[in-house]
Structure 1
Amino acid sequence: MAGKKTTSKTVSATKTATRKNGANAKPRHIGLVAADKWLEPFENAIQGRHNHALEKISQFTRKGKKTLSDFANGHEYFGLHKTLKGWVFREWAPNATEIYLVGDFNDWQESDKYRLKRIEGTGNWELKLSNKALKHGDLYKMKVRWNGGEGERIPAWCRRVVQDDSTKIFSAQVWNPDEPYVFKKKSFKPCKSPLLIYECHVGMAQDAEKVGTYREFTENVLPRVIADGYNCIQIMAIQEHPYYGSFGYHVSSFFAPSSRFGTPDELKELIDTAHKNGIAVIMDIVHSHAVKNEIEGLGNFAGDPNQFFYPGGRHEHPAWDSLCFDYGKDEVIHFLLSNCKYWMEEYRFDGFRFDGVTSMLYYSHGLGEAFCNYGDYFNGGQDDNAICYLTLANKLIHEINPNAITIAEEVSGMPGLAARFEDGGYGFDYRMAMNIPDYWIKTIKELKDEDWKPSSIFWEVKNRRSDERTISYCESHDQALVGDKTIVFRLIDADMYWHFKKGDENETAHRGIALHKMIRLVTAATINGGYLNFMGNEFGHPEWIDFPREGNGWSHKYARRQWNLVDNKELDYHYLGDFDKAMLATIKSIRSFQNKPVQEIWHNDSDQILAFSRGDLLFVFNFSPVRSYTDYGFLVPTGSYDVVLNTDAKEFGGNGLADDTITHLTNFDPLYMEERKEWLKLYIPARSAVVLKKN
């Protein structure tokens, strides 16, 4: 920790230190402010948040005598563990007066043998048992008593929860197989050049109208991800959740992988297989709130509704019908940080996409706020405890694995979220570029095709802070849910059902196919960190997502992915899937593509033409729905250029109007000889885009 203390002193000193050059000395700012002068009025607040994190790090590491990782070992102490001497079970329940372990092993009856003892001077309880007292597969719960009440509870730190098929009751389960899964891939380093994420949900990742399994995903879906060229999967709904239709966002048991998809060992096998094939695995982790359930969850764990959660008006989330963690409690921070470490070490996840970060940052949860200026991020409406927790989580995750990936799902634009901790940032590697899907939805809904402006498109896909990396995407699971529409559904709607067979396409289908590819290409081509796609959207999956519920007769019809559509070469879906694969291959053909500057070459809103370059690649877009251009010229570096990708190619469902076998030579112009630029003249069909590579 000595290095950390040196860094913190340096950061603190940057605020007030001056260059020793006389009266005109300029103040040196913390890195976040140095990178953005408009943050200068808020430097004290930024420094204060940074100092808060430093103080907590000092406290939790005992002033550097230990590490943050040492602090985050709660999962090794609490919960149920098999030791050489027998079983030991511990739980944090300060408000409890009595706790019994009940289950299959004692006919679910209280007995002195299974009665926990309070550890003196703490809110912790402990039970020690012989090796034969419990066995693999036993179901169990806690029977908790407190002043004025009692109830059955699933332990907060339990690692396995199962639901009875007939009664639908959830119970904890002893998980201690004779031959636990052993990881075959001993070490793994994620590829981030660039990060290409396939967002997925194990349960709905199969054709059949049922809940899919970890093993089915490993065998049937993972090969598709590998073949398509993605290098990372972001898995949703891993933490146990009572209601399947919550998409995994109402978590009850934070340390238990959802048993509805299979066993812990099968999840480990999935991750191990992904690693063996060069695929990183990150988890959509939910630390922004928790389900209200009391028996299955943490809602009223031991007679104190506020044991894990904020009291009073901040107790419940007004929009999500859930409970808000109290990030000001050290025990809660311990619980959540240990949760991060547990998933990384036990299952070898490569990192996390943190859900609902906006909700964590603000007392208002960001609801009803416009966030129009920097003052909105420093007006006293921010939860400094939550900010501190997120900062510590990032410090911990990267201490455990320096190559880990952390992504913030955050819509307000809070500056510093994905900036370095040493610069006063919160330490995320990336933030979601949530403006981009909103822009595409608004454009498709509100503008006629002839009113699409390349200048606006180009500005939006590049709208980000220079000191923070982003994950760009056209649409995620949010746009695929009932109540919203995917891009392909907005473009084609019901005509997908009647005019998506080869030879039967109408103008609406042709338009949708063309724009679906162009929207993806301009979004992916301008990334500064990574690109994300939700499973099925790459080939224009026609159905929205509607989980089994009373309103649809508990049907799984829309909680699945119809891979048969993209596999059917008589349908148009494979055109979109094939293009997605070719697009990713084109991006990966340039080393460190995401670090190459995006250099605008030309835009003309009247012509609806946009051109820009990255490295040796030249991207040209014609968004006009009706106008094709012959010999449209651009000033580019002198040389020859070959077409490497064309949205209008017949193999991608286009018209094939251009001859992509031709090598394009630049034309000399004496006016630009010193700049070493010449004219490149292209035929650009309407509603198409082409990528050329300089030889």
Structure 2
Amino acid sequence: MSNVIVHSLFTEFDINLFKSGKHYRLYEKLGSHIIEVDGVRGTYFSVWAPSAKSVSVIGNFNAWNADEHKLNVRWDASGIWEGFIPNVGKGEVYKYKIQSNNNDIWTEKADPFARFCEHPPNTASIIWTADHKWKDKDWMGYRKEKNGLDKPYSVYEVHLGSWKKNAGNKFLTYTELAEDLVAYVKEMGYTHIEFMPIMEYPYDPSWGYQLTGYFAPTSRFGTPEEFKLLVDTFHQNDIGVILDWVPSHFPEDAHGLGFFDGSNLYEHPDRKKGYHTDWKSLIFNYGRNEVRAFLISNALFWLDQYHVDGLRVDAVASMLYLDYS
């Protein structure tokens, strides 16, 4: 008996948009969302896993037992599994345990839409809400001028993990960077800062170019609201923020997007088109509508939720040319 209440955030219109690759705010529906159902607080979970036979939410709250909280598959052939778990809230760690129709393969995956992740090398997702009172109203009002392509641009590109270290060789936190890095960039006269990828990634030496948590600022430097504070502080100092964004490939780590539901869900099924030999990573299946909606939603997420001013898209050549490299 599963302790999951049947509930949905999806309308029929949402599903039609998703299937046609035109749902650009999927992060408002997929993933984990703290809500109230019939007067009870809890978390709604939804995940796209069309090849699954069963999908469970596992975590500390159920001793990682896949029989406790089984999600319900939608009737509309969207491949979305969903449900509401009462009394599970912010800060709980979780994963999806997926049994595939494909040879009964089992996978254990982080949430592709998680807003926060455990600190690597741990790999679970964390239920989160990033509350922040923005103070960049002025910048948001005139940034069109500052970000105009016909305006002077001077960009300071930075890898947050190695720009500067604390005593004991520790990373600076987002909060510390909001003091030190903002002051430095302002003093040097740059108009914009560009962060090398800050989305969650498992392997430090990759410098963030192998992503597993597309919707989560890395927990290495603090919480999502602390990253919002960093962006906010740059804006209050008249400095635009550009994010390095990697829609070109992703790593094969067991908890990541690869072979998600026991099938080539996010990656191209043809290994010649779906595997990047230089980087030993998987390549998105851009021909699949739902994958396009995932990526466009992700780009817009950072602009919408984090007030980011622009994206620098990584490895475009590898997306355009089949004979790349």
TM-score bracket, shorter-length normalisation: 0.7 to 0.9
Q: C-alpha separation between the residues in 2 aligned to 1:92 and 1:62?
A: 11
Are 1:80 and 2:32 counterparts? yes
CA–CA distance in structure 2, aligned partners of residues 219 and 138 of structure 1: 30
Identify if the C-alpha distance between structure 1 residues 60 and 172 changes in structure 2 by more than 3 Å, giving closer, same or farther: closer
> Secondary structure of the equivalent of 1:145?
strand
Return the TM-score normalized by structure 1: 0.41
Once the two structures are superposed, the pairs formed by residues 287-306 of structure 1 within 5 Å of their partners are 287-295=247-255, 297-304=256-263, 306=264
The reply to whether residue 142 of structure 1 matches residue 93 of structure 2 is no
Structure 1 consecutive aligned stretches of length 4 or more whose deviation exceeds 4 Å: 59-63
The Cα of 1:60 is off from its aligned counterpart by: 6.1
Deviation at 1:92, TM superposition (A): 0.4
Amino acid at match of 1:253: G
Q: What is the TM-score when the length of structure 2 is the normalising length?
A: 0.85
Partner residue, 2:154: 196
SS of 1:97's equivalent in the other structure is strand
For residues 198 and 58 of structure 2, the distance between their equivalents in structure 1, rounded to whole angstroms, comes to 26
Counterpart-to-counterpart distance in 2, 1:161 and 1:62: 27
1:185 deviates by 1.4
Letter in 2 for 1:267: F
Alignment-derived partner of residue 277 in structure 1 = 237
Deviation at 1:152, TM superposition (A): 1.3
Q: Which has the higher contact order (CA 8 A, sep 6+)?
A: 2
Query: In structure 2, how many angstroms separate the alpha carbons of the residues matched to 1:240 and 1:103?
Result: 19
Quote the Cα distance in structure 2 between the aligned partners of 1:341 and 1:221: 25
Compared with structure 1, are the counterparts of its residues 173 and 207 closer, same or farther at alpha carbon in structure 2 (3 Å cutoff)?
A: closer
2:221 to 261, 277, 282: 261
Indicate whether 1:231 and 2:191 are aligned: yes
Question: Aligned pair 1:355/2:314, yes or no?
Answer: yes
SS of 2:163's equivalent in the other structure is: coil
Given that 2:24 and 2:297 are in contact with CA atoms closer than 8 Å, whether structure 1 keeps it comes out as: yes
1:116·1:126 contact (CA, 8 Å) conserved in 2? yes
Alignment match, 1:157: 113
Kept after mapping to 1: 8 A contact 2:57/2:70: yes
The corresponding residue for 1:589 is: none
- Pairwise CA distance, 1:226: 0.6
**Structure-2 residue corresponding to 1:596:** none
Query: What is the SS of the residue equivalent to 1:268?
Result: helix
2: CA distance, partners of 1:62 / 1:158: 21
Correspondence 1:223-622 to 2 at 5 A: 223-295=183-255, 297-304=256-263, 306-312=264-270, 313-365=272-324, 367=325
Tell me what 1:659 maps to: none
Matches within 5 A, 1:1-150: 71-85=23-37, 86-112=42-68, 114-120=69-75, 121-130=77-86, 132=87, 134-147=88-101, 148-150=104-106
- How far apart, in 2, do the equivalents of 1:176 and 1:335 lie? 20
Cα deviation, residue 310, structure 1: 1.0
CA distance in 2, matches of 1:207, 1:346: 28
**1:203–1:213 CA contact under 8 A, matched in 2:** no
Distance in 1 between residues matched to 2:115 and 2:291, nearest whole Å? 18
The structural deviation recorded for 1:211 is 2.2
For the 8 Å contact 1:146–1:303, the answer to whether it is kept is: yes
Cα distance, 1:364 vs. partner? 1.4
Pick the aligned partner of 2:127 from 166, 174, 184.
174
For structure 1, the residue ranges without an aligned partner over 5 or more in a row are 1-58, 368-695
Does the aligned pair in 1 maintain the 2:200–2:216 contact within 8 Å?
yes
Alignment partner of 1:214 out of 174, 184, 201: 174
Superposed displacement of residue 309, structure 1: 1.0
Instruction: Say which one has the larger Rg.
Output: 1
Q: Conserved in 2, the CA contact under 8 Å of 1:205 and 1:217? A: no
Shift of 1:239: 1.0
What is the CA deviation profile of residues 636-677 of structure 1, one whole-angstrom value per residue up to 9, with x for unaligned ones? xxxxxxxxxxxxxxxxxxxxxxxxxxxxxxxxxxxxxxxxxx
Q: Given residue 233 of structure 1, which amino acid in structure 2 is its aligned partner? A: I
Amino acid at match of 2:127: V
